[in-house]
Amino acid sequence: MSLIFIFMKRKIIILILLVHSVYAFSQKAQTIIWGDSLFFVPYYAILDLSNNIVIAGSDITPSKTRKVLVKIKNGEVKNYYIQSQIQDTGTYCLNIAQLSNGNYICAGTYYVGGSSNNKAPIFFSVFDTNLNLITEKTYDLPPQYTTGWKFRCHQESEDTLLYLFQAKVPYEFSSWGFDLGLIRITSTGDTVESKYYPYSSDSIDLSCEVFDIRNVPNTEQYIISIKSGTMHYRNIILNHNLSVDTIFEYDDIEPLYGLWGNRNLAYWQDDNTFFTAGDGFLPTKGDMALFAAKFSIQGSVLNSVVLNQTEIDDQSAVTCPIVAANDSTIYILGHDMCYGCDPVTSKAVMEVFTVNKNLDVLGYNIIGEDGYYRSLQVLTNQNGDMIAIGAINVGDTYHFNLYVTQIPREELGLVTSVVNCESKLQDIAAYPNPVTDIIYFRIGKLLKQGVRIILHTITGKTALNKTVKGNGNTIEVKINNLPSGLYIYEIIYQNRKIDSGKFIKN
């Protein structure tokens, strides 16, 4: 989807006022929408050493594009950088990393004439802690490439960083052909060395989309996750000199078919197994579904789970979906994927699954129920809170804006264990039954912390799992989007099942 944004210099003062007027806070959850006079496309985000959220992206003027950086501290935008001069070329901030001295380095690309088939350099920009530009170095790709895209970074030391990216190959009839590119740079943005693996290489065949790069623990090797042009998923072990050590090609996660799927790496274990998450096509349901999987370092799928919520949201897809807070809390973020939908009139939510290291599903939450949302990235802080970063439509088909929300782990309604009470509370009731749109649960006393309502279909599939706070002693749950049929409900309070029963949805 193309995103088009408008920003006018004469509105800068208005922007500063709006930034403070569009925040909506509760005591624990925070929602941030970047002011409505700057339409902002987020591309990559980090949590820095001081627990600030730093986001790289671009705004798009009527005919040009400018790079933008935003720093969020304690729920407020503290600093931001907007490229002041509109150049003949568009500029995109595609990645952000923090250096050991506290400065930030941004990787991005230029677009000349609005076409990825026109020759344009990539850039590495260094910013101080207040997002003031210190220096910018450009890098011209070899003649066979026009530009770079989708940068992923690994900081090797205080002095060097290694970037994985897609090197654009010009095609007469296609605009999105990429080879695999690797660039090692210094902390000031100077290029040390580069390496490319062309799609035409018979031995490697890396016509690709890049997903992620990580250091293999206790080695000087790297593991990268890509998808080849033949729709094969590969985990590749690279040596420190950027030569290929081993290529592991794996079948897609059963029962998914990953024609368009994404893959991202997270959370190494001591036994050199690691976790990945992504999405793929689920033929039995005719839609997309999220998954999480555990891999060996040799590339074998050891365990996997398909995170399908088709009873709630018909389609889901992800961009950068997984982050591990600790052994028992791994967050996987996605969003509704509605092909052909109008972002102005349609609704699309972000959704987050929480699993543990055994891939047991601990919780499911919906984020943003009243708009058209797109997920970008999920982060976690030292408290284990979940930070979801994405975009929301703010006007017409192509106007999106930055959306950030932080939810404490305890408010995600994680069910780590469920203990049946010895006796049910006598005055709990669920009504009406049958029900059409809203079902009410009358609780005998006001439960200020809320209760978790879990609905199962008669076949055992989870149709809803969310924490709900009531009005007085009544909890109401909207179920108008659930299919008709018989449902089993459970009411969980402080990890105890205080009631269960059945109802019919007309």
User: Are 173 and 298 in a shared domain?
Assistant: no
CA distance 144 to 398: 32
> Is the bond preceding residue 255 a cis peptide, omega within 30 degrees?
yes
Domain boundary residue among 219, 250, 281?
250
Domain boundary residue among 250, 285, 309?
250
Residue 10 φ then ψ, to 5°: -70, -5
Q: Which of 385, 386, 353, 389 is nearest to 373 (CA)?
A: 389
Q: What is the pLDDT of residue 205?
A: 41
CA distances from 279 to 86, 197, 236, 392 (A): 37, 26, 20, 21
For tokens 């002693």, the residue is 473
Cα torsion 153, 156, 158, 161: sign:
negative
Q: What is the pLDDT of residue 201?
A: 44
User: Are 366 and 501 in a shared domain?
Assistant: no
Q: How many CB atoms lie within 10 A of CB 162?
A: 21
Q: What is the pLDDT of residue 279?
A: 80
Domain boundary residue among 382, 401, 416?
416
Q: Please, which residues bridge with residue 391 across strands?
A: 374, 402
- Burial of residue 149, with CB atoms counted within 10 A of its CB: 0-12 exposed, 13-18 middle, 19 or more buried: buried
In the chain, % helix, strand, coil (3-state, to 5) comes to 5, 55, 45
- Burial of residue 116, with CB atoms counted within 10 A of its CB: 0-12 exposed, 13-18 middle, 19 or more buried: buried
Q: How many CB atoms lie within 10 A of CB 113?
A: 12
Decide if 258 is inside a domain: no
Structurally, the chain folds into a number of domains equal to: 3
Q: For residue range 436-480, what is the model confidence (pLDDT) as tens digits?
A: 889 988 876 656 667 888 888 765 677 888 888 776 678 889 898
Q: For residue range 61-74, what is the model confidence (pLDDT) as tens digits?
A: 655 678 899 999 98
Structural domain that includes position 499: 419-505
CA distances from 276 to 99, 150, 399 (A): 26, 18, 32
Q: What is the pLDDT of residue 133?
A: 95
Q: What is the pLDDT of residue 314?
A: 47
User: Are 96 and 210 in a shared domain?
Assistant: yes
User: Are 436 and 409 in a shared domain?
Assistant: no
- Burial of residue 345, with CB atoms counted within 10 A of its CB: 0-12 exposed, 13-18 middle, 19 or more buried: exposed
CATH number, domain with residue 303: 2.115.10.20
User: Are 356 and 486 in a shared domain?
Assistant: no
Q: What is the pLDDT of residue 86?
A: 61
* Side chain identity, residue 71: K
User: Are 60 and 184 in a shared domain?
Assistant: yes
Cα atoms in the Cβ-side hemisphere of radius 13 Å centred on 330: 25
Q: How many CB atoms lie within 10 A of CB 476?
A: 13
Q: What is the pLDDT of residue 239?
A: 95
CATH number, domain with residue 487: 2.60.40.1930
Q: Is 382 left (phi over 0), alpha (psi -120 to 50) or beta?
A: alpha
Please report, in tens digits, the pLDDT of each residue of the chain (506 residues total): 233 232 222 222 222 222 322 323 233 578 888 766 667 889 999 999 999 999 999 886 655 678 899 999 988 888 999 887 666 677 888 999 999 999 999 999 987 765 667 788 999 999 999 999 999 999 999 998 988 989 999 999 889 999 999 998 876 545 567 889 999 999 999 999 999 987 544 444 446 788 889 888 888 999 888 887 666 778 889 999 999 998 887 766 777 766 556 777 776 777 778 888 888 777 776 677 788 888 887 777 888 888 865 444 445 555 557 777 666 788 888 887 666 677 777 888 888 888 888 888 888 888 887 788 888 888 988 888 899 999 888 776 667 889 999 988 877 767 655 544 433 444 567 888 888 889 988 876 656 667 888 888 765 677 888 888 776 678 889 898 888 887 888 888 766 777 778 888 88
User: Are 4 and 114 in a shared domain?
Assistant: yes
